[in-house]
Structures are given as structure tokens and as C-alpha cells.
Amino acid sequence: MPDTSNISFLDRVRAILSDLPASERRLAQFTLDFSGDLSSYNASELASLAQVSNATVTRLIRRLEYANYEAARKQIRSERTDDSFTPVNSPLSPGETTLHSHLQESYSKLGNTYRHLSQSALLEASQAISRARQVWLIGLQANYFLAGHFHWHLSKFMPGVRLIPGAGQTVSEYLTDIQHQDVLIIFDLHPRASPMPELIQHLEARCADIVLITDQDYKERPKTRWSLPCQPGREQLPDNSVAVASLSHLLLSEVLKVRGADRRDESAQELAAAEALF
């Protein structure tokens, strides 16, 4: 048998992804989508979040040629590297200068976003999203694609997630379906649709739990329950959306953690109830 100890976890998954049975392929795709968070969960929590059985986790781990799930977690932890920005001191060629300039700009946007991010707002929003009756993703015009990307990922591990408006429709057509137990996640970044402030007022009348992802320098932004501003990307065309992409990933990761913690609490309560009964 060839030595696979020097092959990364993600490379092992990618190598066999297309040949896997349906349930294992679903789990494997989940590990690729949320690779940075895998080491935080045990096998049962991973199975629950990916909506597969514990046996599916065991089969995939064996197929990846690990002795057990803990061995896989150990390698995942060891492969997490420090990607912090390192200044370049040596002279750069014109092509390298372009790459370095773009990288500096991206790091600047990320740094400005995270320095001004409220940890309490992030945590409260994550908890509300994970426990909502239904989550609505809203983005108009260019923001529709940002909302769609978030919707694609969130719907992988949560039921009741909807992206609106549909083709040829308006958000107003969904107002009667939105309830106070729901959470609205609104992407409102430049270039933004002009009627968004008025629309948010109408939405707040139906549901006060609104997560607004918008530009830091948008001084007229509506005051919603949770505002998550990020560094805008409009200094040049095309827009550099690295900050909103990173913020989206952070929020998704926090929701995933909350759901994992909730599942642990539910399991503990079920175990306590069973012990009291028997």
C-alpha cells in the first residue's frame, strides 16, 4: 500500500470525491466547504452538521486511509498554517509588484474590517440565525450574488433557508410569509439599490431580527439589530470583495459552532432525561 502520510486531508478528499457513494460524497463536500472548522467537532457532531450518519463518517475516514477520526483531526490541526502577511524587502519585478500591490490592498481591507467588527454583534447574530424558524437571505442587484453565495453554504447545514427575491419578483411579495421568529440577512453594499432603507423599514415591521452586512463608510445605513460593516471594495473596478467574502465565511463558521454547541446541549439533556427515566 502506498504511503499517504504526506498527503493533506483536503487532497485526500478531493482525490476520491467523484467516486464516493451519495452520503459519503455529501459529507466529503461538507468537509471541503468548511475545512477550517473540522478540528472543532467530534465525529458525532460532524455527522449531525453534515446531516449524515455516524457510520458514514466512519466509512469515509477509513476510505481516506486514517486509523480513526481523531487521526484525521490531528492532521487537520497540523495543516492549519499562519497566513499572516509578510512584507517583501527584496526588489520586485513589474509583475511581482502588481501581485504584491493587490495582496497589500486585500490585507488592508481585511484588517480594517476585522478591527471594527463587534464580537458581541457577531455572536448574537450567529445565535439568532442558528435558532430561527426560517432564515431569509436578501440582496438586490449586485448584492443578490453575495446573498446567493451565503445562501448556498448556509442551506448545506440548516433547513428553512430562503433566498429572495426570485426572478421577476420583489421582496414585498414575501412580506406576509416573514414572521417575528425569523431572521433576515441583508446584503447592502455598493453599488446598492436606492430603495433599500425604505424596504428595511417595511421588513422591520414584520421581523426585528435583521443582520445587515454593509459598507463601513455608509453613513446613512439603517440601524438594524445587528450591523456587520466591512471595508468597501469600490476604489477601483472591478470591486475587490475580499472583505465581504471573509466576513460571510466568518459568520457562517460562527453559526456552525453555535449549532454544534446546541447539539451537544440537546444530547446532554436527552441523556439526563433517559437516566432519570430508567
Beta bridge partners of 137: 163, 185
Percent of the chain with pLDDT over 90: 42
Distance between CA 159 and CA 189 in Å, rounded?
26
Of 135, 72, 113, 131, residue with least CA distance to 243: 113
pLDDT in tens, 28-66: 988 887 766 677 788 888 888 888 999 999 999 999 999
Q: Cβ distance 40 to 258 under 8 Å?
A: no
**Does the pTM of the predicted model rise above 0.75?**
no
- What residues does 161 pair with on adjacent strands? 135
Contact 191, 233 (CB under 8 A): no
Q: How far apart (Å, rounded) are the C-alpha atoms in residues 168 and 190? A: 22
Cα separation, 206 vs 55, whole angstroms: 42
- Kind plus residue range of the DSSP H or E element containing 129: helix 119-131
Gyration radius (Cα) of the chain, Å: 21
Task: Return the number of other C-beta atoms located less than 10 Å from residue 21's C-beta.
Answer: 11
**pLDDT 10s digits, 98-144:** 887 778 788 888 888 888 889 999 999 999 999 999 999 999 988 99
